[in-house]
Chains A and B, each alone.
Chain A
Amino acid sequence: MADSALARIEAGLAFGRDRAIVLALDAANARRPGFVAADVQPSADGFGRFVARALGPGTSATIEGAMAASAQNSVRYRALADQERAILREFRSAADDARR
Chain B
Amino acid sequence: MSDEAFDIAANGMEAQRAAMDGIARSIAGVGSSPSSLAQPANFQFVPASFSSALDDALAIGGPDDVGETSAGDGLAAVQTDEWAADVSAPQLSTAGERAGTGSDDDPIGAMISLISAGRAYDANVASLQAAKQMDVEASDIDKY
Contacts and interface: CB of A to CB of B under 8 A. Distances in A.
Contacts of B28: none
Interface string A10-45: 000100110011111101111111111110000000
Secondary structure call for the B interface: helix
Nearest to A68: B126
Given A17-B2, A29-B96, A89-B144, A70 B90 contact: no
B66 interface: no
Interface stretch (B7-15, B49-57, B72-80): B7-15
Contacts of A37: 91
Q: Which of B84, B120, B123, B143 has the most CB of A within 10 A?
A: B123
Contacts of A89: 144
B64 to A, nearest CB: 42
Size bracket of the A interface = 35 or more
Contacts, number: 126
B142 interface: yes
Contacts of A74: 130, 133-134
Given A29-B12, A78-B133, A70 B127 contact: yes
A33 B82 contact: yes
Nearest to B131: A20
A10 to B, nearest CB: 10
Secondary structure call for the A interface: helix
Contacts of B134: 16-17, 20, 74, 77-78
Size bracket of the B interface = 35 or more
B68 interface: no
A88 to B, nearest CB: 7
B9 A28 contact: yes
Contacts of A73: 130
Nearest to B9: A24
Contact of B8 (A25, A31, A32, A36): A25
Interface of A: 13, 16-17, 20-25, 27-38, 58, 60, 63-64, 66-67, 70-71, 73-74, 77-78, 81, 84-85, 88-89, 92
Interface of B: 1-2, 4-5, 8-9, 11-12, 15-16, 19, 82, 84, 87, 90-97, 99, 116-117, 119-120, 122-124, 126-128, 130-131, 133-134, 137-138, 140-144
